[in-house]
Structure 1
Amino acid sequence: MKVVVDRSKCTGLGICESLAPEFFEIDDSGDLIQLKEGVTADELAAVEESVQGCPTEALRIVS
């Protein structure tokens, strides 16, 4: 599985960073930096929480 960011929807609020900091970081200019793409079973819960918590629906998990 991997996490995908729709950059046209992302506004850089940083909720994903607070929920899964090993995957997401908001830089000083407010842009999202995706640190990792692949999601392991151990990481899935945090990434799912980030996907669900994204108010702009910019994140999704794909197989």
Structure 2
Amino acid sequence: MRIVLDRPRCEGHGLCEEAAPRLMHLDDEGELVLDTEEVDGADAALAAAAARVCPVAALRVE
């Protein structure tokens, strides 16, 4: 599975980072950085949780 970020849509709320801190983080400018794009197992579940909590639907898992 893969995490896909729609960067222009991301507003930097950080809820995804709270849901999946080992997969993504906000940098010093408040931009989301994916630490990995390919996920499986428990990480896939975390990625899905991060996508669900994004208030602007900037993340999806394919």
Query: TM-score when scaled to structure 2?
Result: 0.93
1:30, 1:42 → 2: CA distance?
26
How many residues are aligned here?
62
Aligned-residue RMSD, C-alpha: 0.8
**Structure 1 runs, 4 residues or longer, greater than 6 Å off:** none
Aligned to 1:60: 60
1:46, 1:32 → 2: CA distance?
16
1:20, 1:11 → 2: CA distance?
17
Deviations 1:15-63 (A, max 9, x none): 111110111110111111111000111212211111000001000011x
2:47, 2:54 → 1: CA distance?
11
| Structure with greater helix percent | 2
Aligned to 1:46: 46
Provide the identity percentage.
Answer: 37
Aligned to 1:22: 22
Which segments of 5 or more consecutive residues in structure 2 lack a partner in the other structure? none
Query: TM-score when scaled to structure 1?
Result: 0.91
